[in-house]
Structure 1
Amino acid sequence: MARYLDIHPDNPQPRLLAQVVQALQDDALVAYPTDSGYALGCRVGNREGRDRILRIRGLDDRHHFTLVCRDFSQLGQLVHVDNAAFRAIRACTPGPYTFILPGTPEVPRRLLHPKKKTVGVRIPDHHLVQTLLAELGEPLLSSTLILPGETEPRTMGWDVKEELDHVVDIVIEAGETPAEPTTVVDWSEGAPVVVREGAGDVSRFA
């Protein structure tokens, strides 16, 4: 059964955060709230965690994983960002956007798209997630918690616990989250292409 941790979204309890960080370092898979619904997350180096996410979501190896970063500096270590993309991405982060960009050697090959060698990156506008990333000291390998046959992410911790109790290790409850997933922008070919219209305003990439 998954541990169910009720953490305050604006003033996270250090003791509970420490439990999540320790679990992630021990290769746990965590369901956690973001500014665009719930997501599944684990350490970047957690091979089994990656496979568990694919199984839960019913996805194949062509799925674009997302590396959830604390800030732009961390993001810049993981993907190649040209000047035009830099200005545009900087202007709308943190926020509900995921950007697909060519990965750097810092990203394990198994996390890159098998043909394009790209990966998703994002900086969430969510205090609890930002605090967790700061305590963890590294990005999270993540994927929006949209289950097979569904089109929107889960939004409540108790609902996630009930549905995924035996396939994740921790569920973080921090109040209801928005039901709209991130807007996904593919910038891997030098110009922005909106792949999925979600919570983030797409007009700036038109």
Structure 2
Amino acid sequence: MAAPILEVDIEHPQPRHVARAVEVLSRGGVIAYPTDTYYGLGCDLFSKKAIERLYQLKGRDKKKPMSFLCPDLSDVAKYAHVSNFAYRTMKGLTPGAFTFILEATRVVPEMMMSKQKQVGIRVPDAPLARALAAGLGHPLITTSAHDEEGEPLIDAKGIKEKLGHGLELILDGGVTLMEPSTVVSLIGDSLEVLRQGKGRLDA
């Protein structure tokens, strides 16, 4: 059965919709949800089964770890080593359309780290996505929703059509803009833009 669609307000998410999505996530479900960039596919960072299902749904190589998002900058230090430099940099850029590459702590599941023991972490400018992670009490895996040709899926209807068979719930926040996050490495206390996306570093 294809996943049900729930219409949500992305700026002021309805608590009952957030609670329903959190309930799905906490029992190992996979959902689609809007972020400040693409629609994301997500599950609980600590649900190995859900992560494996997500890799299968995406047709993604398991050697390529997915990023995850935290509800707040203060949560990041649990999952990554945050130096003063990294903290100051992130403080100026969060919440925002950035993925930060940092060294992982031992708390992070092995399959979510690169060979170099690094992770990609987001604190998105997306109240709904942050509310989901806050409600879950764990970071939320975030990987963009694509069709089999690799084209981003920009609305709930398209996601249901292409990926609904592998999802428990789709949160509909309208049509999203098609731009990925900007990937910034903060390894070794230097800032390097690995992919320019929606997030701007002009400031």
Give the alignment's TM-score, normalised by structure 1: 0.90
Q: Which residue of 2 aligns with 1:61?
A: 62
The answer for unaligned runs of 5 or more in structure 2 is none
Indicate yes or no: 2:33 matched with 1:38.
Answer: no
Q: Which residue of 1 aligns with 2:141?
A: 141
Q: Which residue of 2 aligns with 1:106?
A: 107
Pairwise CA RMSD of aligned residues? 1.7
Q: Which residue of 1 aligns with 2:150?
A: 150
Q: Separation in 1 of the partners of 2:200 and 2:172? A: 27
Name the SS of the counterpart of 1:142 in structure 2.
strand
Tell me if structure 2 keeps the 8 A contact 1:97–1:200: yes
Q: CA deviation at 1:130?
A: 2.2
Identity of aligned residues (%): 34
**Structure 1 residue runs of 4 or more that deviate by more than 4 Å after TM superposition:** none
Indicate yes or no: 2:145 matched with 1:160.
Answer: no
The answer for unaligned runs of 5 or more in structure 1 is none
Q: Separation in 2 of the partners of 1:147 and 1:191? A: 35
Q: Separation in 2 of the partners of 1:143 and 1:69? A: 14
Q: CA deviation at 1:158?
A: 1.4
**When the two structures are aligned, how many residues end up with a matched partner?**
202
Q: Separation in 2 of the partners of 1:147 and 1:138? A: 27
Tell me if structure 2 keeps the 8 A contact 1:183–1:202: no
Q: Separation in 1 of the partners of 2:99 and 2:105? A: 17
1:24-55 C-alpha deviation (Å, 9 max, x unpaired): 11100011100001011101111122122222
Q: CA deviation at 1:64?
A: 3.1
Q: CA deviation at 1:146?
A: 3.4
Q: Separation in 2 of the partners of 1:45 and 1:4? A: 25
Question: Which 10-residue stretch deviates more, 26-35 or 153-162?
Answer: 153-162
Q: CA deviation at 1:173?
A: 0.2
Q: Separation in 2 of the partners of 1:146 and 1:89? A: 28
Q: Which residue of 1 aligns with 2:14?
A: 13
Tell me if structure 1 keeps the 8 A contact 2:147–2:162: no
Q: CA deviation at 1:4?
A: 1.2
